Structure formats: C-alpha cells, structure tokens
Structure 1
Amino acid sequence: MNTDIHRLLDEVFAGVEMTPDAQDLKEEMRANLVARVAELEASGSLPRDAAREAIAELGDIRELLGETDAAATGIPSTPATDGYAALQLRHHVKLKAGFVVRVVVWALVAVVGIALGVLGATGALPVVIGPVIAFFGLASTGLGLVVGDSLAQETTTNHPMPQARAAGYALATFLAAYGLSFGFIVAVGALPVWAIVFAALGVIAAIILFAFLGASQTNRHKAWVRHAQNEAARVGNRFEQEPETAARFGIYTVVIWLVTFGIIALLVFTVGWWWAPLAFAGGFAVMMLVLARMLFAPRKGN
C-alpha cells in the first residue's frame, strides 16, 4: 500500500481547523486520492510520484474546504462566495466510463425487452405467452440494474450507496416493473383475468420494499452539501427532521396500495378490468394527498 499519500494529505491539512465538516472532507479526499494513486501507478508512475501528482491535482485545499464561507472565517455567506452552483462545480465528480457503458447496456436490454414484450402481448409478434413473459422479465431486470448501479455510484452531492441497499432498490424496481408488465398482459387479453394477482403481488411487494428502504435510509449527503443546506434553508426536509413522520408515511403508503389493489381485484372480477386504471389513479391521488398533508401540516409546537 502507498503510504505517501496519507503523509502528504496530513501535510496539506496542517494548520487547518479540523471541524467535523473538515474531517469529513479530509476522509472523503483520502478515499479519492487512494483511488487516483492506484490509477497513476497502474499507468506506470512510481508510488512516490503518483502520490505527489494526486495531491497536486487537488489545487488550493482551502478553496476546496470552502474556508471563505461563514463557518471557517466568520465572514457572512453571500451568493457570490457561497453559491450552491459554484460549490457543485468545485466538488464535481466525473462519471466513470465503466458505469456509463453498463447503464447504456442495461437501458438497451430494457428497451428491447419492453418492445418485444409489447409486440408479443398484442399479437404483432407471433410468439406464445412464455417468451412474452420472459421479454418483460428481461426488461424489468434491465430497469432494476440501471437503478441499482446508479445508486451505487458516487455523485457530486452524495456518497455511494452501500451495495446491499442499492441491490434492494434494484429488486424493488424489478418487482414493480414486472408486476406492471403482468397487468399490461392481462389488460390486452394475453393472460386470463386471474393473472392480475401476479401483478398485484409484484407491485405490492415493490411498494413495501421501497417504503422500508426509504424509511430506513440514512443521510448520504457529503459534508459540503450538508453545510450548504444548513446555511441556505431555514426549514429542512420534514422527513429528515422527523423520522417518525417518514415511518408513518411509509406505513400509510403500504395500507393505501393494499386497499387500492384489493379494489382493483374486486373491480376486475365484477364489472371488468377497464375500471382498474381509475382505482389505480385514485390510490395514487390519495397517496399524494397524504404526502402533502404530512410534509406541510403545521409542526408540533408551532
């Protein structure tokens, strides 16, 4: 392991007041520098030279730390010195080439799967129902991989999501897409009406998983984003400030959609499947009203 990078990073931070935000940024830089040194060494640079080059690429460390803002100097923040757009440019993270290639591949898989599935389900493509289901499964897998791979990447504002949690979002996306696909196949008459049960199970499972992941999500914002938000916003996101409110919304969402799909199933078996979209729209409207109520209702003590 190249230890020069850690010594040089400590030298760069010499004399800098190690506030919690500064410490977060230092550790974030350390991880990025280690990766950069590995790239330089792989291209043929000597370990010592690679460490120095990576450090040199940082530029002005005090500018990176934002020590011109109010937290470090006591100077009031202004849009000119502490603008969010300027901070985004300063901390910009470039997309990795491998990630771009993977997303393009997953997206193509999803598009091809959807196209073949729709053509097969509507009869334009002469295939039996098995391949149609497989096409939609392929499309759902592609969509899930796009979501999971994207969440697992570092961005300008967020640290990468842990692989297991990103995989959870990928699975939830797959279940939602596959469930909706079954609903479409039933709607066009390629499957019997009772197959709507598979659609309901997939979508309900996706909603439950999404609700759990959302309610248990921790803050992935980088230190500079948290600082900018604290400086710019007088009132933050209610779900972040009140985790119990976020948990209640997750429970309410599950209940709303369980009831909605129960109504859809009842309508399908009684008056016909063409009433199902109306029930789905009603469930979505109720969920949005609950969301608005929970986000913007008067706070306790106000």
Structure 2
Amino acid sequence: MTTVHRLLDEAFAGVEPSPEVQDLKEEIRANLSARAAELEAQGVTSDVAARRAFDELGDVRALVADAQADVAAETGGAPRTPLQEAFAVAQQQRVRPKPRFVLGVVLASLVFAALVALCVLAALDVVPLPGHVVAVLLVTASSAAGFVVGLSLSQETTTNHPMPANRAGLYYLATGLVVLALLLAVFVPLGVFASWIYVVAAASLVVGGVLFTMLGVTQTNRKKAWVRDVARAQATGHHYDRFEQDPAVAARFGVYTMVIWLTAFVVFVVLGLTVGWAWSWLTFVVALAVMMLVLARMLFASTGEQQK
C-alpha cells in the first residue's frame, strides 16, 4: 500500500538512519499494513484505512527515540561514521526486482532487437518485406522500447518510490515516439521509405520531446526518506536549483520548450518542402541549442538572485 509507505517515510523524515531504525521501521510497516488491511475489509477506502491505522499507532518519533536509547545502552553509544551508516541502511533497504518485471524487460528487449534486425534485413533485401510491413514492425519495436522504460519506472527500487501507473504510461509513450522517430529517420536513407517520412519522424520526435519535457518539469521527488536524509548528512555544499525552489520557473520552461520545438517542426517542414530535406534537419540542431541556452538561464540563478 503506497499510502502506508509514504506516511511512514514522512514520519521518519529527519530521523538519523541506522540498521536499528530500519528494523523498527519495517516492523511498524508490517503492523500498519496489517491494520489497514483489516480496515479495508470493513469497507474503508485504502487511503482512509492507512491514515486511521497510522493515527492509532501514536507518536512514531517516541518509538524511534526509545529504540535508539536501547541500542545506545547495549553498544555503549559507540558512534559510526556517516559512510558506515549510509552503507548499513542501504543494505537494509535493498529491494529485489520482481521476477515478472525481469521477465517483462527481457522479453521486450528481445522483441525490440529482433524486430529491428528483421527490418535491417528487409532494407538490405535479404528478407523481402513491403514498406508498410516494415513500418508496422518499427512501430512495434518502438512500443517495446517504451514498455521497458515505463515498466522500469513503475517499479519500486531501493532508493525510489514507484512512479504512478499513469505517469509511467506517459513515459512509455514519450519513449516510443522518440525511438520511432529515430528508427524512421535511419531507414529513409536505406531506401525503405520515401523522403516525406521525415515529416512523420519529425512530428514524432517533437511530440515525444515535448512529453519528456513536461514530465520532467512536473516530476515530484520520488526519493525515499532515508535517501534524502543520507544525502543531507553527507552534503558538503549548497546547490541552488531554481526548478526545485520555484515551480513556476519549471512550468515556464515547459511552455518555452513546447514553443521552441513546435516552431522548429514548422520551420523543418517549410525548409524541407522548399530548400530540401538534407538541410532541413539543421532546424532541430538550432532548436536544441536554443533550448539548452534557455535551460542554462532558467535552471541556475545568477549570483545576485541566489543572494536575495
């Protein structure tokens, strides 16, 4: 239950990580999950059940303080270095990949490799396949590549909470579009497709790039509480990230990026139909350079802005 996990991580935020604390956390997690399951069986929604079970638990920090005091009494209070603490907690927090996830990623990767290889053989006239069949195979291969990304992001890892299914699905779509654009662009010079397919590839690339940008600037912190605690404990300096400090800046960058790439796409089509497709691709090089300049300007504040 994701709600139980997040409530527990919030309660343990700021608590010095250690194997003992992690053991206590996992024990509390099991009790909370069991109690929440009982409440859900009585007809309570999962979110309400998790919060009610958490409220019934009482003061979590008091439990942590008592456990730390007991450990200190047993060990004589011998301190460990931050690196030792971080390594010990990481070992406690390890999440093993689910067998079905591993199987899904392996199968999707094999499908991608096999379909691309088949399309290459068709382009070399080794395997006779018409152009529309190659196009379908490339779309399927791109979908397989997106599936690997989306499935991977939806899994819980040692350091990250799982990404919501809808958001992971958007990453799947964005990845599939970008990969499809690259594959189509590669197979046009091989004579499989006509030059107008560059327009389809460009549209796919722009939509995928815009999706990636929007997902990136709206991404919330998925790091688990213990990861953030260790990072803060080991931090040696301060990094001013405007996207983290000011969500409005991140939103503006998303809008600017969409405008840049949509404009680039329009110019690409116009140049392709007038000057020629061989030179029209320079539009995207210019668009990428402009986007990087905007990113550098918006992501990091100037010295004067940092001091405000």
Q: Check whether TM > 0.5.
A: yes
Partner of 2:184: 182
Q: Aligned-pair distance for 1:164?
A: 1.2
Partner of 2:135: 133
Q: Aligned-pair distance for 1:32?
A: 11
Partner of 1:107: 109
3-state SS of the aligned residue for 2:196? helix
Partner of 2:297: 293
Instruction: Report the Cα distance in structure 2 between the residues aligned to 1:274 and 1:259, rounded to whole angstroms.
Output: 19
Instruction: Report the Cα distance in structure 2 between the residues aligned to 1:158 and 1:146, rounded to whole angstroms.
Output: 17
In structure 2, stretches of 5+ residues that fail to align are 16-20, 35-62, 72-77
Instruction: Report the Cα distance in structure 1 between the residues aligned to 2:257 and 2:68, rounded to whole angstroms.
Output: 40
Amino acid at match of 1:126: P
Partner of 1:48: none
Q: Aligned-pair distance for 1:127?
A: 1.1
Aligned-pair Cα RMSD in Å: 3.7
Partner of 2:60: none
1:26 to 1:89, Cα distance in 2 relative to 1, 3 A: closer
Count of residues in Structure 1 that have an aligned counterpart in Structure 2: 255
1:128 to 1:203, Cα distance in 2 relative to 1, 3 A: same
Instruction: Report the Cα distance in structure 2 between the residues aligned to 1:21 and 1:124, rounded to whole angstroms.
Output: 62
Tell me whether 205-214 or 182-191 shows the greater mean CA deviation.
182-191
Amino acid at match of 2:284: F
Tell me whether 160-169 or 122-131 shows the greater mean CA deviation.
122-131
Q: Aligned-pair distance for 1:28?
A: 10
Q: Aligned-pair distance for 1:132?
A: 0.5
Partner of 2:286: 282
Partner of 1:148: 150
Q: Which digits, 9 at most, give the CA deviation of each residue in 1:210-243, with x for residues without a partner?
A: 2222222222111111222333342364322221
Amino acid at match of 2:271: L
Tell me whether 151-160 or 213-222 shows the greater mean CA deviation.
213-222
Instruction: Report the Cα distance in structure 2 between the residues aligned to 1:102 and 1:164, rounded to whole angstroms.
Output: 18
Partner of 2:163: 161
Q: Aligned-pair distance for 1:150?
A: 0.1
Partner of 1:56: none
- Give yes or no for contact 1:179–1:203 (8 Å, CA) kept in 2: yes
Instruction: Report the Cα distance in structure 1 between the residues aligned to 2:270 and 2:68, rounded to whole angstroms.
Output: 59
3-state SS of the aligned residue for 1:192? coil
1:1-302 equivalent positions in 2, closer than 5 A: 19-21=12-14, 26=25, 30=29, 78-83=81-86, 85-233=87-235, 234-235=238-239, 237-298=241-302, 300=305, 302=307
- Give yes or no for contact 2:203–2:265 (8 Å, CA) kept in 1: no
3-state SS of the aligned residue for 2:97? coil
Q: Which digits, 9 at most, give the CA deviation of each residue in 1:127-147, with x for residues without a partner?
A: 111110011011111101101
Q: Which digits, 9 at most, give the CA deviation of each residue in 1:239-298, with x for residues without a partner?
A: 222212222222222222223223332332233322244333332233223222222331
Q: Aligned-pair distance for 1:161?
A: 0.6
In structure 1, stretches of 5+ residues that fail to align are 1-5, 7-12, 36-60, 69-74
Q: TM-score, normalised by structure 1?
A: 0.70
Instruction: Report the Cα distance in structure 2 between the residues aligned to 1:32 and 1:270, rounded to whole angstroms.
Output: 69
Amino acid at match of 1:294: M
Q: TM-score, normalised by structure 2?
A: 0.69
